Amino acid sequence: MKKISENQLKRDLGFWPTLSLVIGVVIGSGVFVKPGTVLGYVGGNTNLALLAWLLGGILTLAAGLTIAELSAQIPKTGGLYVYLEETYGKLWGYLSGWMQSIVYQPALIGAMGLYFGSLVAHFFFLDPSWGLWIGLSAVLFLAIINSLGVKYGGVIQVITTATKLLPILLIAVFGLWKGNSQIFFSPSGMETEWNLGAAMLATLFAYDGWIAAASVAGEMKNPSKVLPRAIFTGLIIVMIAYLSVNLALLKVLPAIKIQTLGENAASTASGILFGEIGGKLLSIGIIVSIFGGLNGKILSFPRIPYAMAVRNQLPGSRWLARVHPRFGTPIIAIAFQIALAILYMCISNPDWLSEISIFAVFLFYIQAFIAVILLRKRNQAQTPSYRVPLYPITPIVAILGSLFVVISTIIHDPTGTWIALGIILLGIPVYAWIQRRTKQLAKASS
């Protein structure tokens, strides 16, 4: 198979396609399923809940603008994996790929599958236990579809992306217009302690995905101009949408009710705003949006373990690197990711999976933010085509905000975070073993 170099990649992506990529990838299930979780972490305090959504958006914006400079200094396709490898060496690049393949990606697929199953079960008035089986069925169905060819998964993605903004717009507009509940300083009726860091982590699940735009910088017409504009504009739009939806939900439902309903709060609010039929139609729109987000992850995520396997960087690389001769898809890599996702779905819950996955990826985001400062010092003679605005304030905000979230998560869920850290650190002996085996094979063949 011929290897495609960076110079051979077509630079066809302009501002509007990149902007749609940012918005389309970021908006999925989080805005619909996380409001209750965020309120729970701040003891039902609506002011703190809205602050968590705002701070999560500001942190994501600072992160996106910082990563945009990395993409200008390292204009290659590959995203986080490439940035860390170029800055810190092959081990750190490898560990970021290992983390994404073993923790981040399958955990996110599992979380979204469980959220989807819960919403479908609620829509059809089924027992909540059906949620797991519906979620598993959806994940397996989409895995099969995406194994049959990328064009089939692409069709699903186009259809669902076109419909995902409608529920957000309708809930935000009509909720703020027709709702009559108190938003600010609303009594929660709860005496629980609050954890702003854990609440921000929950919002970051909703904001996650923006780095997908940076991962295709090598295919943009002018990444130094297109990428920062698209990330800034896209994330501002997403922040406004998320804050509007949360304000609307609080205007329609009391905070304690949103907490109790959990991922079903948005669909319940839809029924109140638009009546039984309108509410059901909007609930279908929410379900379709989550289904599309799940499809997008199953479509794209297996490409990372596949790419690592092509470079012989994972155990079983000979199998994981296989492409189906007829369908042209990395079918073994897809099966590998889905098997892990199903395992996680069976042993955990969607909130935990989503939060651990975001915790894991932010450990490596912090390194990427620091890399901007290191590359500035390393390449003083060069002037990148794009510089992060308000340097060094913006990357420092990204670093400190991320550290606050990571440390808060460790305090809030020490067992879960140590499990995630243990799986990530397991990549070090695996890397050493693969390096040693590669050298032995090279000596044997020489």
pLDDT of 106 reads 95
402 in any annotated domain: yes
Around 197, how many Cα atoms within 13 Å sit in the side-chain half-sphere? 15
306 in any annotated domain: yes
Q: Which among 111, 106, 5, 85 is positioned nearest to 353, based on CA atoms?
A: 111
One-character DSSP codes across 302-343? THHHHHHHHTT-STTHHHHT---TTT-S-HHHHHHHHHHHHH
Are the C-beta atoms of residues 18 and 233 closer than 8 Å to each other?
no
pLDDT of 246 reads 95
pLDDT of 316 reads 86
| CA–CA gap between residue 53 and residue 48 (Å, rounded) | 9
Q: Which among 30, 80, 84, 29 is positioned nearest to 201, based on CA atoms?
A: 30
pLDDT of 58 reads 95
pLDDT of 320 reads 87
Question: Backbone phi, then psi, for 220, in 5-degree steps?
Answer: -95, 150
pLDDT of 38 reads 94
pLDDT of 222 reads 73
Are the C-beta atoms of residues 105 and 98 closer than 8 Å to each other?
no
437 in any annotated domain: no
pLDDT of 156 reads 64
Q: Domain residues for 168? A: 15-431
pLDDT of 418 reads 93
145 in any annotated domain: yes
pLDDT of 158 reads 64
- The answer for residues whose C-beta is within 8 angstroms of residue 181's C-beta and 6 or more apart is 250, 251, 252, 253, 254
pLDDT of 6 reads 40
pLDDT of 3 reads 40
231 in any annotated domain: yes
Q: Is residue 248 classed exposed, middle or buried when 0-12, 13-18 and 19+ CB atoms within 10 A define those classes?
A: buried
The β-bridge partners of 220 are: 13
pLDDT of 5 reads 41
442 in any annotated domain: no
47 in any annotated domain: yes
The domain total for the chain is 1
4 in any annotated domain: no
pTM (two decimals): 0.85
Residue 309's CATH number: 1.20.1740.10
Encode the chain (446 residues) as per-residue pLDDT tens digits.
334 344 344 555 677 777 777 787 788 778 888 999 999 999 888 999 999 999 999 999 999 889 888 877 887 756 788 889 889 999 999 999 999 999 999 999 999 999 999 999 999 999 999 999 999 999 999 999 888 876 665 566 667 666 777 888 899 999 999 888 778 766 555 556 678 888 999 999 999 887 776 655 555 677 777 778 888 888 999 999 999 999 999 999 999 899 999 888 998 999 999 998 888 888 888 888 888 888 878 877 887 888 888 888 888 888 988 887 887 778 898 999 999 999 999 999 999 999 999 999 999 999 999 999 999 888 877 776 778 888 899 999 999 999 998 998 899 899 999 999 999 999 999 999 988 888 887 777 76
